[in-house]
Amino acid sequence: MTEMHVRGLTIAVHAGDRDEALAFYSALLGREPDLGPDPDFYEWEISPGAWLQLATGRTDINPSSFRLRFQVEDIEASAGVLRAKGFEPGDIKWLPGLVAFANLTDPWGNPLGVYQDLGVVAGP
């Protein structure tokens, strides 16, 4: 029996109006999509082999049941940048030695956020 070797991942988010969705996610990520293979489908490579896919023009949106958080180097500065761009991140939550994060949602109710890795704690 051979093992499956996962080499990457894609995460798809459904959104409504194309122009509004592109503006929201381009501002959030600080750049335009890397790919737009279809007039209602766009992709950003977040890190090598990890892609955020945006499917726009949807009218039957059920917000995601999972939260998609993006890693940042400085959680406080990033939360400030988000606020300056008109986003509304929540309060920063700190788990000392582990992680700090702030949550927000997109206009269609999809749960998002940013986080900062504060270090690794060795397991038992």
Question: What is the per-residue pLDDT across 7-42, written as a single tens digit (0 to 9) for each?
Answer: 999 999 999 999 999 999 999 999 999 999 889 999
To the question of domain 1-58 being in CATH 3.30.1490.20, the answer is no
Residue spans in the chain of domains classed CATH 3.10.180.10: 1-58, 67-124
What mean pLDDT value characterizes the chain? 93
Distance, CA of 33 to CA of 53 (rounded, Å): 9
Cβ(90)–Cβ(56) below 8 Å: no
- For domain 67-124, the CATH class is alpha beta
Distance, CA of 117 to CA of 62 (rounded, Å): 30
Cα–Cα separations (whole angstroms), residue 95 to 60, 67, 100, 101: 36, 17, 6, 9
The tokens for 1 are 């029996």
Please state the pTM of the whole predicted model. 0.88
Cβ(17)–Cβ(11) below 8 Å: no
User: What pLDDT, in 10s, does the model give residues 80-91?
Assistant: 999 999 999 999
Distance, CA of 87 to CA of 34 (rounded, Å): 22
